[in-house]
Each structure stands twice: as structure tokens, then as C-alpha cells.
């Protein structure tokens, strides 16, 4: 099973996206990343795991294993699943302190991501990140 952040890192995604010349190709790659996300069990698609602030339905579940946080997520929209993969690559397999302190804005800037998303998608992406960072702070 692929665990983004373990098998696919944020650096891998930055490197791969830099090969594409236009955003149409980048969007295709992002959607393909989403297809690689491990499936979220139907039993985890609960009200508690639903991420508020997203236009699409997004569920996020986390586990603390051996001092590291691991996240599994799913969405009903292909592009959102890809965005989840990008976010999980940054956070999976990190300690709670690393999750809480990670500079996600610098990562998004490096990807030049937010300027290519609609404002509602961007707000949803920020809601996902906020939820993950809150999980990190809670695990401290």
C-alpha cells in the first residue's frame, strides 16, 4: 500500500510537477496522484472524519503509530483526491511536532498551486491542512 509521505514524498511531487510545461498536464498528474491514494474504508467515512469547509466531500482519518502520524483521506472529486495526495505527501509519517510546524505555504508556493485553484478549492485545501495541523497539535 502506498503511504504518501513515506513512499511518495513532497519532494517527489515538486520534482515531478516541475517537468510539466503547462497546467493542463499538471492537473492530469495531480488527478493521477489521487488515484494512487489508498482507499478509505467506508466505516471511516463518518461525520467525525468529514472535513468542514470543502466544496466536495472530504474525509480524513489519522493514526498515531510509533510516534508518527499517518493520514488516510478520500473525496468524491478526482481533483480533490489529487490535492489530498499532495497534502498527505507533506505530512504522512512525520512526528506530531513536525506536522504542527510544517511550512505548508512554502510547499504550496514551490508548487505554484494556490494561484491555479478556484477560491473555493483553495479554501477547501486550507481546511484540509488546518484539520491535519490540528491533529498534529492534539497529538503533542
Inter-residue contact 10 to 107 (CB < 8 Å): yes
| Residue at grid coordinates 489519522 | 62
- Scan for cell 488546518, then name that residue: 130
CB 57 within 8 A of CB 89: no
Residue 57 in contact with residue 46, Cβ under 8 Å?
A: no
Is 27 among the catalytic positions?
Answer: no
Q: Which of 54, 89, 99, 111 is catalytic?
A: 54
Distance CA 108, CA 122 (A): 11
| Residues assigned a catalytic role | 54
Amino acid at each position: 500500500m502506498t503511504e504518501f509521505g513515506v513512499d511518495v514524498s513532497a519532494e517527489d511531487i515538486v520534482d515531478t510537477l516541475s517537468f510539466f510545461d503547462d497546467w493542463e498536464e499538471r492537473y492530469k498528474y495531480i488527478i493521477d496522484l489521487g488515484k494512487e491514494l489508498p482507499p478509505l474504508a467506508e466505516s471511516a467515512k463518518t461525520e467525525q472524519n468529514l472535513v468542514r469547509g470543502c466544496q466536495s466531500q472530504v474525509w480524513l482519518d489519522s493514526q498515531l503509530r510509533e510516534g508518527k502520524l499517518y493520514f488516510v483521506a478520500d473525496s468524491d472529486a478526482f481533483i480533490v483526491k489529487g490535492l489530498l495526495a499532495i497534502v498527505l505527501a507533506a505530512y504522512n509519517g512525520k512526528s506530531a511536532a513536525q506536522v504542527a510546524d510544517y511550512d505548508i505555504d512554502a510547499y504550496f508556493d514551490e508548487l505554484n498551486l494556490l494561484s491555479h485553484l478556484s477560491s473555493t478549492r483553495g479554501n477547501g485545501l486550507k481546511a484540509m491542512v488546518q484539520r491535519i495541523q490540528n491533529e498534529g497539535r492534539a497529538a503533542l
